[in-house]
Amino acid sequence: MDLGLAGRKAIVCASSRGLGKACARALLEAGCEVVINGRDGKTLAATAAELGQIAGGKIIAVAADVATPEGQKALLAACPQPDILINNNAGPPLRDFRELSRQQMLDGVTANMIVAIELIQKVIDPMLARRFGRIVNITSGAVKAPLAGLDLSSGARAGLTAFLAGVARTVADKNVTINNILPGAFDTDRLRATLGKAAEAKGITLEAAAAARAATIPAKRFGEPAEFGAACAFLCSSRAGYITGQNLLIDGGLFPGAF
């Protein structure tokens, strides 16, 4: 399917690895010019070299922390008026809520709610003027099914979801859409690191921990990042202009609800 994205300009935050990288790849394959981003310059450079092999795509790498004003400025200097914005940022680590300090809570809300809103504030008016804009926020399946220990991440991302639900309805008539993708367990470095800690705590192998986790998912496997990227690219496409304010849960059927 032609997604109608050839020549469109995209910013994909936190895209040197994992699901962000998968989204950047899918948009490049659809013909977009893509700004990728990460804090680790070495990893970012390796990703840029890898994705730069995709035929017809143009890629710009910006090493920056999107949680800072300087990082956001650097992204927008590389792409002043993006047609597509993919908001993505790592969540705070697993921690008992009793242990959270006020500053840690503020930092978590900043990283997983405020940063996305700030970037949207900066890009949305030019999108409205051009009558095309696609904003996708990578949140978490924990927005629908919160997990103990990830309370800060769940709360901040749920806050972002509610905040933007109203905003999405105010710009839909200008062909600007705002949607969220809620990932479950995808086969990424972050998942493997989490499984590694679980395996160590239980005194089992990483393979055993992965098998036990996958067994809890109706699909009996972890998601492939490419599957996530394809879904993101579709929501960014010209074909998806009638989809806005939605939360797409991609978790292999783990969440048991009908809605």
**Which domain covers residue 201, as residue numbers?**
187-222
Whether residue 258 lies inside any domain: the answer is no
Whether residue 77 lies inside any domain: the answer is yes
Whether 58 and 126 map to the same domain: the answer is yes
Tell me which amino acid residue 67 is: A
The overall pTM is greater than 0.85: yes
Average pLDDT taken over every residue of the chain: 96
Q: Express each pLDDT in 66-123 by its tens digit.
A: 999 999 999 999 999 999 999 999 888 889 999 999 999 999 999 999 999 999 999 9
Q: Express each pLDDT in 145-192 by its tens digit.
A: 998 999 999 999 999 999 999 999 999 999 999 999 999 999 999 899
Whether 138 and 196 map to the same domain: the answer is no
Tokens of 157: 């991302």
The residues, any chain, with a CB within 8 Å of residue 171's CB and separated by 6 or more, are 124, 127, 128, 133, 177, 178
Whether residue 257 lies inside any domain: the answer is no
| Alpha-carbon gap, residue 4 to 6, rounded angstroms | 6
Q: What is the mean pLDDT of the segment spanning 2-23? A: 97
Whether 148 and 203 map to the same domain: the answer is no
Which is nearest to 235 in space by CA: 150, 86, 87, 134?
Answer: 134
Return the SS3 of 151.
Answer: helix
Whether residue 137 lies inside any domain: the answer is yes
Tokens of 114: 């405020």
Tokens of 133: 């804009």
Whether 213 and 232 map to the same domain: the answer is no
Please report the pLDDT score of residue 2 as a whole number: 94
Whether 60 and 107 map to the same domain: the answer is yes
Whether residue 215 lies inside any domain: the answer is yes
Return the SS3 of 253.
Answer: coil
Q: What is the mean pLDDT of the segment spanning 115-140? A: 98
Whether 58 and 111 map to the same domain: the answer is yes
Whether residue 155 lies inside any domain: the answer is yes
Count of the separate structural domains present in the chain: 2
Please report the pLDDT score of residue 55 as a whole number: 74
Whether 121 and 244 map to the same domain: the answer is yes
